[in-house]
Amino acid sequence: MILATNKMLVAATVRIDEEMVIKLVLQSLEQGVDPNTIMSEMRIGLEMVLKMYSEGTYFLADLLIASEVFKQVHEMVLAHYQSFDGNRPIDVVFGTVQRDIHDIGKSIAISVMQSIGLNVVDMGVDVRPQQFVEMIQKTGAPILCLTGLLTISYDYMKATIHLLGEIGLREGTTVFIGGLVNDSVQSYVGSDYWVYDLQKACEMCKTVLMEKSRKKINIS
Amino acid sequence: MNALIIACQMISDELNLAISRTGVDYPVIWIESRFHEHPDRLRGRLQDEISRISNVRHIILAFGYCGNALLGLKAEDAFLIIPRVDDCISLLLGSQATQRRLSSELATYCLTRGWLEYENGVLSELERNINRYGQDRAYEISRAMLEHYSRLILIDTGAYNIDAFLEKVQRLAGILGIVYEIVPGSGELLNKLLCGPWDEDFSIIPQGGTVTTEHLWAQRGRSSKYAEQSRGCLYSLPGHCRA
């Protein structure tokens, strides 16, 4: 079944009208709408909110509320379809690096990644390089996402990637950095990619996972 | 004209005080504090201003790196002078080291009158959120935004009446459920920014040069080459300063 209220759901998300979003989602779930369709509409809405924030129309608080609503809808969809598989392998290890505690962008990114089916471990904030590396070792996750807003975070991104190399895990791990990053930061810390756009980040993660699984098939 | 200052409105109280303290007579272009959260837009705004300036030898940028907002700036006909600090809080505390020391003691969110009250200030945003989402939700948002901070510090910069703002900080700390303190500021770095010497605490970008990461990032190790050049040639403005 298609989502009859799709434009309304996007519009309500963009308006950050929590009550209306929940009402429309409940209605859609009752009608048996494909959960992927619901989450896809939610992503379009959230992307528009992000754009309006970057243009200065919305404030950080609005972004937080929109992200909470998004999370809430994702949980409703998961609960309704009971599709969560706790035994799935971890795709992404994600955290704010040592000496930095900014995590609003990280939380939004993780919500969106989860909504497209990525299995993400949230390491929290002020995460030491050793902790990241241990989690990669433990889970075998092919993607590591490091974020930070302070200038000093670049040093800890670099230290984490360096440690990954020392342990011999660098080649098998694709490292993304986010936050206030650019080409210069990427070159300094030695990551594979830097990302600013959430949609692109999700697409790139999916591409990396596909390539890695293809390589695995070729090897075996 | 010898120099011109481009500054963030957020530190206008303190910069105005430093101007009267030092007696410099450079004009100031104030940049709206709402750009604070948007480095790309701030960069565009700054470049627009810089590109319109002519017949000025030095453009002093009273900003921190502000999320790499200064990266890529260029002045065709003037030297750009940039303090090597992560954000403008270091300018108010007198050094990057003081800010890092405070943060290493406890995750600290620093405030001044500007940070509390100006456009996009903590309290002005709180009032807006109360109007839009109601008090309970607005308080929740504030707690979420500053979730990982354990302390508020009101910097006594000497540029505003601290007693008038203490109650506001107490209220905010109460909402957040964290402690607050008053810490004395220092105008030393602002004085140096206005009068020189522009030593290793500053980057000097010559006419036609572009601001790169080497100019911006604070840690000396990243920019030893540039720092050596700076040390070899301590640069200060000709003219007179009272400081």
Largest CA distance in chain B: 58
Residue B65 inside a domain? The answer is yes
Count CB-CB contacts under 10 A for residue B136: 9
Q: What is the pLDDT of residue B88?
A: 87
Q: How confident is the model at residue B86 (pLDDT cuts 50, 70, 90)?
A: confident
Contact A56 B41 (CB under 8 A): yes
Q: Is the pLDDT of residue A206 over 60?
A: yes
Q: What is the pLDDT of residue A213?
A: 78
- Which amino acid would we find at residue B193? L
One domain for residues A199 and A114: yes
Cα–Cα dist B50/B205, whole Å: 13
Q: Give residues 110 to 129 of A whose Cβ lies within 8 Å of B.
A: 125-126
Q: How confident is the model at residue B34 (pLDDT cuts 50, 70, 90)?
A: confident
Residue A87 inside a domain? The answer is no
Give one DSSP letter per residue of chain B, joined into a string: --EEEEEEGGGHHHHHHHHHHHT----EEEE-GGGGG-HHHHHHHHHHHHHH--S-SEEEEE---TTTTTTT-B-SSSEEEEE--SSHHHHHHS-HHHHHHHHHHS-EEEE-HHHHHSTT-HHHHHHHHHHHH-HHHHHHHHHHHTTT--EEEEEE-SSS-THHHHHHHHHHHHHHT-EEEEEE---HHHHHHHH--B-TTEEEE-TT-B--HHHH---GGGGHHHHHHHHHT-B--SS----
Q: What is the pLDDT of residue A220?
A: 45
Residues of B in contact with A180 (CB under 8 A): 39, 67-68
Contact A54 B38 (CB under 8 A): yes
CA distances from A46 to A21, A191, B31 (A): 12, 27, 30
Q: Is the pLDDT of residue A217 over 70?
A: no
Residues of A in contact with B120 (CB under 8 A): 59
Residues of A in contact with B107 (CB under 8 A): 101
Cα–Cα dist B36/A179, whole Å: 15
Residue B243 inside a domain? The answer is no
Average pLDDT over residues B23-47: 90
One domain for residues A100 and A166: yes
One domain for residues A54 and A151: no
More confident residue, B40 or B234: B40
CA distances from B26 to B56, B59, B103, B196, B203 (A): 10, 10, 33, 14, 19
Average pLDDT, chain A: 89
Give the residue from A147, A151, A153 with the most B CB atoms within 10 Å of its CB, the best one to mutate: A151
One domain for residues A13 and A45: yes
Q: How confident is the model at residue B231 (pLDDT cuts 50, 70, 90)?
A: very low
**B184 phi and psi angles, rounded to 5 deg:** -70, 140
pLDDT tens for B139-163 read 999 998 888 899 999 999 999 999 9
Q: What is the pLDDT of residue B227?
A: 35
Out of A81, A102, A122, a domain closes at A81
Residue B38 inside a domain? The answer is yes
Q: How confident is the model at residue A24 (pLDDT cuts 50, 70, 90)?
A: very high
Q: How confident is the model at residue B136 (pLDDT cuts 50, 70, 90)?
A: very high
Nearest chain B Cα distance for residue A104, angstroms: 7
DSSP H or E stretch at residue A62? helix A60-81
Contact status, residue A31 vs residue A4, Cβ threshold 8 Å: yes
Q: What is the pLDDT of residue B37?
A: 77
One domain for residues B65 and B123: no
**B170 phi and psi angles, rounded to 5 deg:** -60, -45
* Burial of residue A166, with CB atoms counted within 10 A of its CB: 0-12 exposed, 13-18 middle, 19 or more buried: exposed
More confident residue, A184 or B48: B48
pLDDT tens for A62-92 read 999 999 999 999 989 888 876 545 567 899 9
Q: Is the pLDDT of residue B120 over 50?
A: yes
Cα–Cα dist B59/A154, whole Å: 28
One domain for residues B85 and B194: yes
- Which amino acid would we find at residue A49? V
Q: From B71, B35, B41, select the one nearest A183 (Cα to Cα).
A: B71
Q: What is the pLDDT of residue B156?
A: 96
- In this prediction, what percent of chain B has a pLDDT beyond 90? 65
The total of structural domains in chain B comes to: 2
Q: What is the pLDDT of residue B224?
A: 35
Cα–Cα dist B148/A103, whole Å: 9
Nearest chain A Cα distance for residue B197, angstroms: 25
Q: What is the pLDDT of residue B237?
A: 54
More confident residue, B124 or A141: A141
One domain for residues B159 and B123: yes
Q: How confident is the model at residue A38 (pLDDT cuts 50, 70, 90)?
A: very high
One domain for residues B144 and B212: no
Domain that holds residue A36: 6-81
Token pair, residue B62, equals 């009273």
One domain for residues B73 and B16: yes
Average pLDDT, chain B: 86
Q: Cα angle vertex B43, ends A184, A16, to 5°?
A: 100
Contact status, residue B42 vs residue B69, Cβ threshold 8 Å: yes
Residue B238 inside a domain? The answer is no
Residue bearing tokens 């993780």: A110
- Could you tell me if residue A2 is left (phi over 0), alpha (psi between -120 and 50 degrees) or otherwise beta? beta
Q: What is the CATH number of the domain that holds A181?
A: 3.40.50.280
DSSP 8-state class, residue A116: T
Token pair, residue A90, equals 């971890």
One domain for residues B168 and B105: yes
Q: How confident is the model at residue B111 (pLDDT cuts 50, 70, 90)?
A: very high
Q: What is the CATH number of the domain that holds A17?
A: 1.10.1240.10
- In this prediction, what percent of chain A has a pLDDT beyond 70? 92
Residue A86 inside a domain? The answer is no
Task: Out of B107, B133, B212, name the one closest to residue A101 (CB).
Answer: B107
One domain for residues B100 and B155: yes
Nearest CA in chain B to A149: B67
Task: Out of A54, A59, A151, name the one closest to residue B86 (CB).
Answer: A151
Token pair, residue B35, equals 């750009």
Average pLDDT over residues B179-195: 95
Give the residue from B42, B65, B131, B145 with the most A CB atoms within 10 Å of its CB, the best one to mutate: B145
The total of structural domains in chain A comes to: 2
Nearest chain A Cα distance for residue B22, angstroms: 30
One domain for residues B42 and B120: no
CA atoms within 13 A on the CB side of B47: 15
Radius of gyration in angstroms for the set of CA atoms belonging to chain A, rounded to a whole number: 18
Residue bearing tokens 């309704």: A80
Domain that holds residue B75: 3-89+188-232
Q: How confident is the model at residue A44 (pLDDT cuts 50, 70, 90)?
A: very high
Token pair, residue B66, equals 């502000």
Nearest chain A Cα distance for residue B140, angstroms: 10
Residue B130 inside a domain? The answer is yes
Nearest CA in chain A to B107: A101
Q: From B231, B240, B232, B227, select the one nearest B194 (Cα to Cα).
A: B240
